[in-house]
Copies of this chain bind each other. A is one copy, B any other.
Amino acid sequence: MDTHIKAALKPAKPYEQNRARMLISCPDGPGIVAAVSHFLYQHGANIVQSDQYTMDPEGGMFFMRVEFDLPQLELRIAGLQQDFAEIADKFEMKWQLYPLSHKKKLAIFVSKEDHCLVELLWQWQAGDLDAEITMVVSNHPDMKEYVESFGITYHYIPVTPETKAEAEKQQLELVNGQVDLIILARYMQIVSPALIEPYRNRIINIHHSFLPAFVGGKPYAQAYNRGVKIIGATAHYVTEELDGGPIIEQDVQRVSHGDDVNELKRIGRTIERVVLARAVKWHIEDRILVHQNKTVVFN
């Protein structure tokens, strides 16, 4: 399908060659912004966007995202990183540098419900998700043909109680070192701790409720039974605690007594799609920092 495949071949935009982003977190103190911005200026970089947030001016944590242009970035990035280590040491920073020319590699896990997958693929081929979708992994074969029409590899790995351990091993082998971000796009299986550990803060799940309300299974039925007047969806990083990881994004929609469980599911599908796609986009654009089970999102 021409429309779709052309997306996979989209070249980097010219300005991306020389643009990079830094994410920094450290204990707050005087002079951090000055040090970072002065460092970049001295190295010939021009700051395009800068965001910062201090949890508490006296003794709290400091978070920063800075996006900058640096001519001949590719040649100079190694030196830049080396030089920055000194500042990072001084302020006890955790930091990462992401050149835009390096596209993140994504794996999408999906079960039978296809709406989140379809949304991600549509946004991706429309150019709104600036990443490579490397593979789709599913415990069902249903979406194989559709996914392959985008030129994306589809791994069908059935999961039964007997084969679960083996399936998880297979999944880990597929993704490990190959992808930067795993997206659980309504993947209705619990993910193995063996996968969570190496992908800490790099697995995004969409939960079909307004967390922390309605943790666990059948959240729309739970919502119907409680008689809530608004339903929602929550994108969060996956941790060992079920539906308990750092929340990235949530959104909601008004419902009424007249909406039965099926109608809640129908309305919810659009919320889920939009919320998951936003969270993925922000992760791809390096807008999210995690601190103590909470996210700082610069957007």
Contacts and interface: CB of A to CB of B under 8 A. Distances in A.
Nearest to A274: B270
Contact of A229 (B31, B34, B249): B249
A69 B230 CA distance: 30
Contacts of A246: 227
A266 B285 CA distance: 15
B257 A228 contact: no
A95 interface: no
A175 interface: no
A250 interface: yes
B38 A49 contact: no
A37 interface: yes
Contacts of A149: 1
Interface in A165-221: 210-214
A33 B53 contact: no
Interface in A114-139: 114-115, 118, 122, 126, 128
A102 B295 CA distance: 34
A158 interface: no
Interface in A244-274: 246-252, 256-258, 266, 269-270, 274
Contact of A230 (B42, B229, B250): B250
A230 B252 contact: yes
A122 to B, nearest CB: 6
A49 B41 contact: no
Among A33, A44, A258, max chain B CB count under 10 A is at A33
Contacts of A256: 297
10 contacts: A3-B143, A3-B145, A3-B146, A30-B44, A30-B47, A38-B38, A50-B52, A210-B210, A227-B294, A257-B297
Interface of A: 1-3, 15, 29-35, 37-38, 40-42, 44-54, 57, 69, 114-115, 118, 122, 126, 128, 142-143, 145-146, 149, 210-214, 226-230, 232, 246-252, 256-258, 266, 269-270, 274, 293-297
Q: Which 7 A-B pairs have the closest CB atoms?
A: A227-B294, A34-B41, A34-B37, A213-B213, A30-B46, A33-B37, A257-B296
